[in-house]
Amino acid sequence: MTDPLVKPKKKNPVERTRLPTRPPAPRSRAAQGLTRAAAEGVFEMQTCGDCGALQYPPREVCHQCLSERLVWKDADPRGTLIATTVLRHSNDLYFRERLPWKVGTVKMAAGPSVVAHVHEDCAEGGAVRLALKLDRSGQAVLHALPEKDTPNMNDAPQLRESTCDPKFRRVLVSDGKSAMGLAVARAMLDAGANAVFLGDPTSWKTVKAFDALVASDPRVQPVELDVTDTDSVDRLAASIGGKVEILVNTAAYLRDGGILGRKDVILARDAFEVNVLGMMRLAQAFGPGMGFRAADGSNNAVAWVNILSIHALAALPARGAWSASMAAALSAAQTLRAEFAGAGVRVMNVFPGPIDEEWEQLTPPPKLAPAAVAKAIVQGLQGGLEDVYVGDIAEELRTRLRENHKAVERELGQ
Amino acid sequence: MSAPRTRLGYDGVVAVMPVTIPYARYSTRSAHWWLGRALGELIRGSGLAKAAVDGVCVSSFTLGPDTAVGLMQHLGMSPRWLDHIPMGGASGVVALRRASRAVQAGDAEVIACIAGDTNHVDSFRNTVSQFSRFAQDAVYPYGAGGPNASFALLTDHYMKQYGATREDFGKLCVAQRENALRNPHALMKKPLTLAQYIDARPITDPIHLFDCVMPCAGAEGFLVMTEERARAMKLPFVRIGSTIERHNAFPDDPIQFRGGWAMDRDALYEHAAVAPADVDFVETYDDYPVINMLQFEDLGFCAKGEAPAFVREHDFTIAGSFPFNTSGGQLSVGQAGAAGGYLGMVQAMRQLTDSAGATQIEGARVGLVSGFGMINYDRGLCSGAAILERGQA
Amino acid sequence: MSNPVLAQFMTEFLAGRLRLVDLTQTLAPEFPTIVLPPEFGQAWPFRIEEISRYDERGPAWYWNNFSMSEHTGTHFDAPVHWVSGKDLPDNTVDSIPVENFIAAACVIDVSAESAENPDFLLTIDYVKRWEEQHGRIPERAWVLLRTDWSKRVTPKEYLNMAEDGAHSPGPDAEVVPWLIRERNVHGFGTESVGTDAGQAHHLNPPYPCHYFMHGNNRYGLQCLTNLDQLPPQGALIFAAPLKIRNGSGSPLRVMAIVTNG
């Protein structure tokens, strides 16, 4: 049984900070199929479209019938742990700092044998379930997990290296006055965050729910933060930048309006100011500090969360300016992901469908409660995901985009 | 369909001139230097003109970005037959197998088989991290333990499946060290006791320090030519009884507990017209002790799963009941990259030409050399073996 | 040939008998702008980004880009700002005659009343009582309402939002047309974020100061500070907005010239 994680002690301010290293990152292009699955938290294996053979490691053609029609399909993650070893030596800096490290061979019920990171609660010879997760280099790795959840299993250090669990971490919620910000803050507290820095972009405005949350839990610290104001962002980073281990950017600007029907680009500019430039400002101010602390103990800086929209992938012309800002934000997030890769800070993008909040008043249901999105964010962090699609509408749109993106374009334009 | 074709024998082809370029833990030289020295030793030692060597067979991990082709220009050679064998521990057997057929067919007259690698302070990590695509995709990211981790898993499985103990592995390692103390080329110069073996620090459970070979720099080589030429040049020679090779054997085994030898051993003995009992000594590929056990079983010295008992029954020293890895093997001599795949071959040639010095086995007539190589993903893919015989006139 | 008046001005000024008072708030990102319902277009707050600071972006120089609306910080309202002034001549900041950028000022101190009641409204009666004490408001003078609102440092205190919106003092709907008709004032200036009271939406007409002042081609100044350093009468205001084509207003530096002692 995994020992529960101990709440990290306050950091000795004169101690040297361990710099981030990352596990071996090179992968073949075919192996990136695993990465895509891991990024979304699904378990898929390369499968032959002709003979149905499942294979691992990923290849260019089917190892049975040599067909090149290889597809990625949901696979049975069950298997038997047939051999294990505990590494007490490694050729790689990242692992050297984390020894001992347990790996093993799992004979999958679906066929192949795989080498996997082995959870400490797995017994050799016993049944396990495999999960694809991203490691600190952002590449997919297989974890052999106990067949059924065990107490505190997410606290196991090896598994925690692949996840971004809010437990005992400090979270900055950039706009804590929005319904989404409040929901995210509550979800982080429930998930065991050590502190929630609750951003206040409108200190002149009283929001009762904000005040109530601040009063309800000593872990909540209100902080002034307006992502459109470089000065404000820099000031906050100078004050708490060294303490932010998960940043959830809840600052959002959503207004109706297309492009041709307006006389100005002010709405678009305001949307970009918050949704795109705001993210960049936060990144420039908080990113370097988070990267520096990416290997700093059990509460290392781990994740950067952007709440985007499924319309980052397909414009909703009725909200054209906003959609454009979402697409730009997604693009910026991809760059951040590349820039954070060296340190191993995960960039998680959240793609919800319509959310039940004031600016979606006229949107017909189904709409997502902010709490549902917040829950998906916490689960995404706990699972170590990179892309989280929330709600039926997001899932449906995603499926339809894969089927025919031109049809989606036409239909959203109606 | 016609009846199965019979394999040709190796009549008229022999191997001569085993050479070893003394190993070094680390070298500032490149692989070209080590391979060049081996070729030089072969030419000077045999008395051949350089141009008379019209075939070359090369194995090396650290020659990159060059291949055997670039090496020819580097060494000023113009061979009419050239091979590059990237089979690690199986390279020696396969080189002999390829070269003997080429000489037999008349495609070349004299083939120099050379294997060598340098070992810079960081070469091993580089070799391991980029060993193969599958290793890169599916092994190295899992702790970057290198071969230690892969063999630890096989060893763990084998121990649990067949009841092998650390003492069994230790017995082989201690015997090999005893043999190595007679071999001036061995890098390990201190005796090893079973207690020291057992108490050594763990590296990757159940692999401990003395289960691991020491990476080093070095080169080995030999010549393949016609018996007629060897006799004319008065070069002591060995005959080739038979050879086998197999790659990616038993792909459906969930974890490796046997090698390709198990598929081909009957052919091996039948072709040479000898039985395991006729073999006077065995040189196996010993990157980890468990692989020795696999070879004892798969090459027919005992049944599958009985190697632990076999080990308990025998003494593996030069003077013992089952002379084995008489040079000390890689575990005690060092692993000079691809040259490790030649170590058994060169030592067997010495045994059969009475040039093994202090490691010489009295009256050895038939030797078995076994090779194993390339943990591409989760198991060694290449296996090979050769039966060599004393080439007395 | 030198003008004796200006020469005398400079003599007095250099001797310290005339003094300049800066009535301008510092432009800073956190300084509040007026808050409208969120579905309306919003004035941009002041935002500033460094272009370079003796660094790789410009090795020997420091400079910034900034952005803001015409109605951010201490600013000037031109008549065109309000629909009532949209068709008047010379109603934009670039067309206002430059002479109008200098005017005398009457400072009506309602700071005590405002401290009591943030919704305090200036009435005709109050102005008349003020005139009894300080003299009649001259023609073409700014009327500046001293509320000490500028001493409210945080945006929260300054905007003073409650559930029913902002609460800050201003003129009532009667006094504004009276000041124009009876005193021919130049414009109206306040310390708070608008020339109208926080709750002026509920007056008739709504936002009377904007409606009447601009409808009569008069001007507005807001977000002023240091009004407590001005005499009730006798200060001279220099307030020249940026020359923005068709501009409805502009941030500006507002200076008052006062006699010392």
Cβ contact B254–A105 (<8 Å):
yes
pLDDT at residue B122, as a whole number: 82
Q: Which residue of C has its CA nearest to A225?
A: C30
C-alpha torsion A97→A102→A105→A108, nearest 10: -100
Q: What is the mean pLDDT of residues B137-146?
A: 95
Task: Check whether A382 has a pLDDT greater than 80.
Answer: yes
Q: What is the dihedral of CA A173, A177, A181, A184, to 10 degrees?
A: 90
What would the pLDDT profile of B322-341 be if each residue is shown by its tens digit? 999 999 999 999 999 999 99
CB pair distance less than 8 Å for A230 and C45:
no
Give pLDDT, residue B2: 65
Decide if C47 and A232 are in contact by the 8 Å CB cutoff. no
Output the pLDDT for position A139.
97
Q: Which residues of chain C are within 8 Å of residue A205 when distances are taken between CB atoms?
A: 35, 156, 161
CB-count burial class (<10 Å; 0-12, 13-18, 19+) for A56: buried
* Helices and strands (H and E) in chain C: how many: 7, 15
| Among C47, C28, C36, C25, residue whose Cα is nearest residue C190 | C25
What pLDDT does A1 receive? 84
Determine the pLDDT at residue C261: 66
- Reported as a pLDDT band with limits 50, 70 and 90, residue A74 is very high
State which residue of chain A sits closest to B156, comparing Cα positions: A83
Q: Which of A56, A58, A82 sits opposite B254 (nearest CB)?
A: A82
Residue in A with minimal Cα distance to C44: A270
CB atoms within 10 A of CB A402: 9
Counts of helices then strands in chain A (DSSP H, E): 12, 15
State the pLDDT at residue B101: 98
Q: How far is CA A95 from CA A24, A158, A344, A398, B215, in A?
A: 9, 10, 14, 37, 21
Q: Are C80 and C214 in contact (CB under 8 A)?
A: yes
- List strand residue ranges (DSSP E) for A295-398, in order: 303-307, 346-352, 387-390
Distance CA B186, CA C214 (A): 102
Taking only the tens place, the pLDDT of each residue in A331-355 is 999 999 999 999 999 999 999 999 9
Both tokens assigned to B372 = 């194993």
Nearest CB neighbour to C161, from listed A204, A229, A231: A204
Q: How far apart are alpha carbons C176 and C195 in whole angstroms? A: 11
The answer, yes or no, to whether ipTM is higher than 0.90 is yes
State the smallest CA–CA distance between residue A410 and chain B in angstroms. 41
Q: Is C48 on the interface with A (CB under 8 A)?
A: yes
Contacting residues of B for A95, CB less than 8 Å apart: 143-145
The pLDDT tens digits of the residues spanning B30-62 come to 999 999 999 999 999 999 999 999 999 999 999
The residue assigned the tokens 């995709």 is: B137
Q: What average pLDDT score do residues A114-131 get?
A: 97
Count CB-CB contacts under 10 A for residue A106.
Answer: 29
pLDDT at C138: 97
Taking the CA atoms of residue A354, residue A357, residue A360 and residue A364 in that order, the dihedral angle to the nearest 10 degrees is 70
* Residues linked to residue C77 through DSSP beta bridges, in sequence order: C220, C249
B135, closest residue in chain A (CA to CA): A57
What is the pTM for the complete model shown? Answer: 0.93
Is the pLDDT reported for residue B16 higher than 60?
yes
Instruction: Enumerate the residues of chain A whose CB falls inside 8 A of the CB of residue C159.
Output: 204
A206 touches chain C (CB under 8 A): yes
pLDDT band, very low/low/confident/very high, at A80 (cuts 50, 70, 90): very high
- CB atoms under 10 Å from CB of A3, counted, come to 11
The phi and psi torsions of A386 (rounded to 5 degrees) equal: -120, -30
Please name the residues in contact with A138: beta carbons below 8 A apart, sequence gap of 6 or more. A25, A35, A337, A341, A344, A346, A386
Instruction: Tell me the three state secondary structure of residue A370.
Output: helix
Cβ within 8 Å, pair B378-A89: no
CB contact under 8 A, A231 and C30: yes
pLDDT at B126 over 80: no
The answer on pLDDT for B346 being more than 70 is yes
pLDDT bracket for residue B316 (50, 70, 90)? very high
Q: Taking CB atoms and an 8 Å limit, are A85 and B128 in contact across chains?
A: no
Which regions of chain C are under pLDDT 70? 1-2, 261
B and C touching (3 or more beta-carbon pairs closer than 8 Å) = no
Q: Is the dihedral of CA A282, A286, A291, A293 positive or negative?
A: negative
Inter-chain contact A228–C42, Cβ cutoff 8 Å?
Answer: no
Average pLDDT over residues B71-83: 98
- Residues in chain C with CB shorter than 8 Å from the CB of A230 are 29, 47-49
Question: How long is chain B?
Answer: 393
The answer, for A265 touching chain C at a CB cutoff of 8 Å, is no
Question: Rounded mean pLDDT of A248-264?
Answer: 94
3-state secondary structure C153-206: CCHHHHHCEECCEECCCEECCCHHHHHHHHHCCCEEEECCCCCCCCCHHHCCCC
Residues of A in contact with B250 (CB under 8 A): none
For residue A24, give the chain B residue with the closest CA.
B141
Query: Do A308 and A351 meet the contact criterion of CB atoms below 8 Å apart?
Result: yes
User: CA–CA separation, C13 vs A168, rounded Å?
Assistant: 65
Helices B91-105, B340-352: axis angle to 10 degrees equals 60
Distance, in Å, from the CA atom of C186 to the CA atom of C76, rounded to the nearest integer, reads 12
d(C-alpha C239, C-alpha C254), whole Å: 5
Q: Which positions ≥6 away from A180 have C-beta within 8 Å?
A: A250, A252, A307, A355, A357, A370, A373, A374
CB contact A270 to C (< 8 Å): yes
Reported confidence tier of residue B127, pLDDT bands at 50, 70, 90 = confident
Contact B144 A89 (CB under 8 A): no
Reply yes or no on whether C186 is catalytic.
Answer: no
pLDDT-derived band of residue B1, with 50, 70 and 90 as boundaries? low
User: Quick check: A232 contacting C, CB < 8 Å?
Assistant: yes
Is the distance from CB of A109 to CB of A77 less than 8 angstroms?
Answer: no
Interface touch C155/A203, C-beta < 8 Å: yes
Sorted by where each starts, the structural domains of chain A and their CATH numbers stand as 32-160 (no CATH), 170-412 (3.40.50.720)
Is the Cβ of A9 closer than 8 Å to some Cβ of chain B? Answer: no
**pLDDT, tens digit, for every residue of A91-103?**
999 999 999 999 9
Residues facing B225 on adjacent strands: B14
Contact B143 A117 (CB under 8 A): yes
In DSSP terms, B240 is beta-bridged to: B388
How large is the C-alpha radius of gyration of chain B?
20
Distance, in Å, from the CA atom of A84 to the CA atom of B277, rounded to the nearest integer, reads: 36
* Chain A residues lying within 8 Å of C30, measured CB to CB: 224, 226, 229, 231-232
Residue of A115, A118, A120, A130 to mutate for B, most B C-beta atoms under 10 A = A115
Tell me the mean pLDDT in the region A116-143.
97
Q: Give the integer Cα–Cα distance in Å for A180 and A173.
A: 10
pLDDT number for residue A242? 94
Cis omega (within 30 of 0) for bond into A146: no
Cβ contact, residue pair B140, A105, below 8 Å? no
Q: How many whole angstroms separate alpha carbon B382 and alpha carbon B291?
A: 13
Going by pLDDT thresholds of 50, 70 and 90, the confidence category of residue B6 is confident
Q: Are A173 and A240 in contact (CB under 8 A)?
A: no
Chain B residues inside the 8 Å CB shell of A27: 136-137, 141
Q: How far is it, in rounded angstroms, from Cα C176 to Cα C180?
A: 6
Q: Given pLDDT bands bounded at 50, 70 and 90, which one contains residue A12? A: confident
Which among C71, C81, C186, C214 is annotated as catalytic? C81
All structural domains of chain B: 13-122+217-232 (3.40.47.10), 133-213+240-386 (3.40.47.10)
Q: How far apart are CA B349 and CA B326, in angstroms?
A: 12
**Inter-chain CB proximity A204 and C158 less than 8 Å:** yes
User: Are residues B259 and B251 in contact, defined by beta-carbon separation less than 8 angstroms?
Assistant: no
- For C69-104, the DSSP string reads -TTSSSEEE-GGGSGGGTTSTT-STTTS-GGGGEEE
Task: Give the chain A residue nearest B376 (alpha carbons).
Answer: A57
- DSSP bridge partners of B220: B20, B115
Q: What is the pLDDT of residues B257-299, one digit of tens each?
A: 999 999 999 999 999 999 999 999 999 999 999 999 999 999 9
Which residues of chain B neighbour A103 with C-beta distances below 8 Å?
142-143, 145, 149, 153
How far does CA B192 lie from the centroid of its chain?
Answer: 23
Chains A and C touch (3+ CB pairs under 8 A): yes
Please list every residue in chain A whose beta carbon sits closer than 8 Å to the beta carbon of residue C154: 203-204
Phi, psi of A26 (to 5 degrees): -60, 135
Whether the CB-CB separation of B372 and B380 falls below 8 Å is answered with yes
Task: Please state the length of chain C.
Answer: 261
Out of 3.50.30.50, 3.40.50.300, 3.30.70.1150, 2.40.50.140, the CATH code matching C14-259 is 3.50.30.50
Could you give the percent of chain A with pLDDT greater than 90?
A: 96
The secondary element (H helix, E strand) that includes residue A234 is helix A230-240
Taking CA–CA distances from A359, the nearest residue in chain C reads C39
Chains contacting B (3 or more CB pairs within 8 Å): A
Percent of chain B with pLDDT over 70: 99
d(CA B284, CA B325): 6
> What tokens does B3 get?
């009846």
The DSSP code sequence of B320-362 is: SSS-B-TT-HHHHH-B-GGGHHHHHHHHHHHHHTT--GGGPPT
- The minimum CA-CA distance between A203 and chain C, rounded to whole Å, is 6
- Mean pLDDT throughout B13-31? 97
Distance (Å) from the C-alpha of residue A356 to the closest C-alpha of chain C?
17
* Nearest CB neighbour to B255, from listed A56, A103, A105: A105
Among candidates A57, A88, A135 on the partner chain, residue whose Cβ is nearest the Cβ of B204: A88
State residue C39's pLDDT score.
85
d(CA B189, CA B183): 9
The pLDDT of residue A364 is above 60: yes
Is A204 in contact with C28 (Cβ distance < 8 A)?
A: no
